[in-house]
Amino acid sequence: MNLHEYQGREIFAAYDIPVLRAEVASTPDEVREIAARIGGTVVVKAQVHAGGRGKAGGVKLAENPDQAAEVAKAIFKLKIKGWPVKKVMVAEASEIASEAYFGITLDREARRNVVICSAAGGIDIEEVAAKTPDKIVRHLVNPSTGLTDAEALDIAKRVYSDEKTAQQAAVILSKLAKIAKEKDTSLIEINPLIVDETGKVIALDAKVVIDDNGLFRQPELEKLRDPDSETKWERMAREKGLSYVKLDGDVGCVVNGAGLAMATMDLIKYYGGNPANFLDIGGSSSPGKVLTAMQIILADKNVKSIVFNIFGGITRCDDVARGIVDAVKKGKIEHPIVVRLTGTNEEEGRKILADSDVKVTPAVTMDEVVQQGIRLALQNKIAAAS
Amino acid sequence: MGILVGKDTKVLVQGITGRDGSFHTEKMVEYGTNIVGGVTPKKAGQEVAGKPVFNTVKDAVAATGANASVIYVPPPFAAGAIIEAVEAGMPFVACITEGVPVSDMVNVWDALKGSETRLLGPNCPGVITPGECKMGIMPGHIHLPGNVGVVSRSGTLTYEVVDQLTRAGIGQSTCVGIGGDPIIGTKFVDVLDLFEKDPHTTTIVMIGEIGGTDEEVAAEFISKNVTKPVVSFIAGSSAPPGQKMGHAGAIVSGGSGKAEDKVEALTKAGVKVAVTPTEIGSMVAGLVPA
């Protein structure tokens, strides 16, 4: 789960990492009031889950409260990488003497957290890593000791030649490591970490991503979830334990298992169709889950046919079949449906479908279910157009 | 015969009294797996599928001589269960549990270092040597004893591939699901190494997916160390970048983890990469000695 900058900043502040004065606003009027409270030049920053905010015009300086309200008005109208701007953060502006990058994330290969720092901050760190890898300092964190103060200081000294600056940065790095451990972050990043004109080291930005698997023990972070960061349907899927990603095609897919779901999408593309979504109904599938899955898929008006590709393991084919019959009857679904049921209880599942008065096209192989799905989507489209 | 598990494997089930644990214990017993008992704290003395329940792994090992453990414990307690098995000196542990926090797995990996334990998973279907030992959640009946080794990051996609093989009359030596999480105990290279050394495996099928660089690392390993023919498929070529596709590990970020890069690396290593998931069976059929 991604946190917004202002939420990350609050966590930083709670751990005594130096941050600038800032408040969050939802309207230009609120921005004006905050700018007046802070006084002097402020920076107005769009709060969206997307990088490249500056380039998109989502970060602007303002010299007085009226100007702040004016730039905010423009920022609220933006869509940054598809995300509408619902909130902005108004922060005190600062003189910047230097910009660095400090972050902690998972190194999958080493199976440990890795500290990544660079004196070249303020820009895309992946670009720095690709073009000038020698400017990057990397350090693997030993999980049994955590990041020690001595290690933090050693890392900071490799970024800053000035001793006093390095000491301040080391304290900040230790705190980042503490947050990473206590809050189940999969990424925690300050870009840029600045030195201001007085020599003080300050976190000017905050990017925090929480490991979804850790959320069950972070109830206070779950509360920070931005309701605008997901659609109603994505939320419904998450709450029912389905994995759903909307795509832009017209063949809806209901599959059990993430790998098979991806492979089904791949096969639809291979045969010249376009998948409308990724949807994994998960392991133990109750008929209710199938109903939810169909509701979510049919909320997308682009969908012209639905493909069920089920390989029963823990998932039982009879459960899925009951779910399909239920959903079609309750939802009065008229979309063409192609169903492939194989694995656990496949005979029972096929019989339930055959004995019902619900009209579905049966398919035996994965090739067949996908090809039929594409064909029926096309037919449906032509019928709708004529 | 095969790798990791066989007819001499004595399996312990951690979390045996839970909903998933008890259900799959019965399925494993039905298949013929030698289940010697289970563990659930404070439930010693009970029985599941006729098998004794113990309070701790240590007690269970002392009483039964178990040499492998399969874990169905819920996510908050899964890491603790793995570490308990490691501390009891269990040689092989498969963790089926989905949703284990990544930071817990960092600690588990630390505990595994220098131990005698090999971990499979978490978030995996487990491992099966057809006709001998099924340790996990895969449907047993789709498998057929034979000589093709299957290793995969996915569960149901593996079933699809195994089903294609079995329908074509091609049996499997062992099928290993390594799991879809960012941190897993056993990786492609570990299993490839075991298959290469296993006299009963003649051909290898490797099913990868987008995210991470394990397939690229495997390609490098294959070109240097694997003499047996390898057939592969990478799922997720149609996935949009930046989106998590169900598996926590299946995400394309910052230009790495793409399907096309993995396909290219594997092709360079001499691996035959299937374009569609449905042609894997026939590709293998062309390679297996009659």
Q: Which of B82, B102, B107, B252 is most worth mutating to test chain A (most A CB atoms within 10 A of its CB)? A: B102
Work out the pLDDT band at B262, boundaries 50, 70, 90. Answer: very high
Per DSSP, B44 falls in state T
* CATH topology identical between B11-120 and B138-285: yes
Per CB-CB distance under 8 Å, the chain B contacts of A367 are 276, 278
Query: Is the bond into B74 cis (omega within 30 degrees of 0)?
Result: no
According to the model, what pLDDT value does residue B245 have?
A: 73
**Residue ranges of chain A that CATH labels 3.40.50.261:** 231-385
Helix locations, chain B, DSSP H: 19-31, 57-64, 75-87, 102-112, 156-167, 188-197, 214-225, 259-268, 280-285
Q: Which residues of B are part of the catalytic machinery?
A: 247
Q: Are the Cβ atoms of B98 and A283 closer than 8 angstroms? A: yes
According to the model, what pLDDT value does residue A230 have?
A: 83
pLDDT, one tens digit per residue, over B59-90 is 999 999 999 999 999 999 999 999 999 999 99
According to the model, what pLDDT value does residue A384 have?
A: 85
Q: What is the CATH number of domain B138-285?
A: 3.40.50.261
Of the candidates A216, A245, A366, the beta carbon closest to that of B277 is on A366
**Residue ranges of chain A that CATH labels 3.30.1490.20:** 21-92
What angle, 0 to 180 degrees and rounded to 10, lies between the N-to-C axes of helices A317-331 and A346-355? 20
Mean pLDDT of A374-386: 91
Work out the pLDDT band at B254, boundaries 50, 70, 90. Answer: low
> For residue B233, what are the β-bridge partners?
B207
ipTM of the complex: 0.90
How far apart are the C-alpha atoms of A334 and A58, rounded to whole Å?
44
The one-letter amino acid code at A227 reads P
Going across the sheet that includes B11-14, the strands are B47-48, B51-54, B35-39, B11-14, B68-71, B92-95, B118-120
According to the model, what pLDDT value does residue A240 have?
A: 87
Strands A185-195 and A98-107: antiparallel
DSSP-based three-state secondary structure for A173: helix
Q: Which of B238, B251, B263 is most worth mutating to test chain A (most A CB atoms within 10 A of its CB)? A: B238
Instruction: Please give, rounded to a whole number of angstroms, the shortest distance from the CA of B157 to a CA of chain A.
Output: 4
Percent of chain A with pLDDT over 70: 99
Per DSSP, B253 falls in state B
- Look-up of token digits 């970490």: A193
How far apart are the C-alpha atoms of A106 and A140, rounded to whole Å?
9
Interface check B16 vs A, CB under 8 A: no
pLDDT, one tens digit per residue, over B204-232 is 999 999 988 899 999 999 999 999 999 99
Q: Which B residues, 22 through 51, put their C-beta within 8 Å of a C-beta on chain A?
A: none
Per CB-CB distance under 8 Å, the chain B contacts of A257 are 154-157, 246
CB A252 within 8 A of CB A378: no
Tell me the domain boundaries of chain B: 11-120, 138-285
Work out the pLDDT band at B253, boundaries 50, 70, 90. Answer: low
Given a cut of 60, is residue B290 above it in pLDDT?
A: no
Nearest CA in chain A to B279: A367
How far apart are the C-alpha atoms of B160 and A239, rounded to whole Å?
28
Instruction: Please give, rounded to a whole number of angstroms, the shortest distance from the CA of A213 to a CA of chain B.
Output: 5
Q: How far is CA B196 from CA A211, B175, B221, in A?
A: 36, 14, 11
According to the model, what pLDDT value does residue A316 have?
A: 86
pLDDT, one tens digit per residue, over A257-273 is 999 999 999 999 999 99
Q: Are the Cβ atoms of B240 and A280 closer than 8 angstroms? A: no
Domain A98-222, CATH number (from 3.40.50.620, 3.90.226.10, 3.30.470.20, 3.30.420.40) = 3.30.470.20
Residues 6+ apart with CB under 8 A from A77: A85
Inter-chain contacts counted by CB atoms under 8 A, chains A and B: 164
Nearest to A283 by CA among A248, A244, A310: A310
The one-letter amino acid code at A268 reads I
Work out the pLDDT band at B287, boundaries 50, 70, 90. Answer: confident
Q: Are the Cβ atoms of A184 and B277 closer than 8 angstroms? A: no
pLDDT, one tens digit per residue, over B154-183 is 989 999 999 999 999 999 999 999 998 999
Given a cut of 70, is residue B289 above it in pLDDT?
A: no
pLDDT, one tens digit per residue, over A87-132 is 999 999 999 999 999 999 999 889 999 999 999 887 777 777 778 7
pLDDT, one tens digit per residue, over A139-161 is 999 999 999 999 999 999 999 99
Interface check B273 vs A, CB under 8 A: no
Out of A99, A151, A189, A346, the active site residue is A189
Nearest CA in chain B to A340: B160
Given a cut of 90, is residue A228 above it in pLDDT?
A: no
User: Higher confidence at residue B246 or residue B278?
Assistant: B278
Q: Which B residues, 161 through 190, put their C-beta within 8 Å of a C-beta on chain A?
A: 163, 180, 182-183
Mean pLDDT of A194-220: 95
Given a cut of 90, is residue A332 above it in pLDDT?
A: no
Nearest CA in chain B to A215: B101
Domain over A231-385 is classified CATH 3.40.50.261 = yes
Going across the sheet that includes A42-46, the strands are A22-25, A88-92, A42-46, A59-62
Work out the pLDDT band at B246, boundaries 50, 70, 90. Answer: low
> Can you say whether residue B45 is alpha, beta or left, with left for phi > 0 and alpha for psi between -120 and 50 degrees?
left
Percent of chain B with pLDDT over 90: 87
How far apart are the C-alpha atoms of A43 and A91, rounded to whole Å?
5
DSSP-based three-state secondary structure for A226: coil
Mean pLDDT of chain B: 93
CATH topology (fold) of B11-120:
Rossmann fold (3.40.50)
Q: Are the Cβ atoms of B213 and A109 closer than 8 angstroms? A: yes
According to the model, what pLDDT value does residue A331 have?
A: 79
Given a cut of 90, is residue A284 above it in pLDDT?
A: no
Mean pLDDT of A130-139: 85
According to the model, what pLDDT value does residue A308 have?
A: 97
Domain A21-92, CATH number (from 3.90.380.10, 3.40.190.10, 3.30.1490.20, 3.40.50.970) = 3.30.1490.20
Given a cut of 90, is residue B10 above it in pLDDT?
A: yes
According to the model, what pLDDT value does residue B251 have?
A: 61
Mean pLDDT of B274-289: 89
According to the model, what pLDDT value does residue B211 have?
A: 87
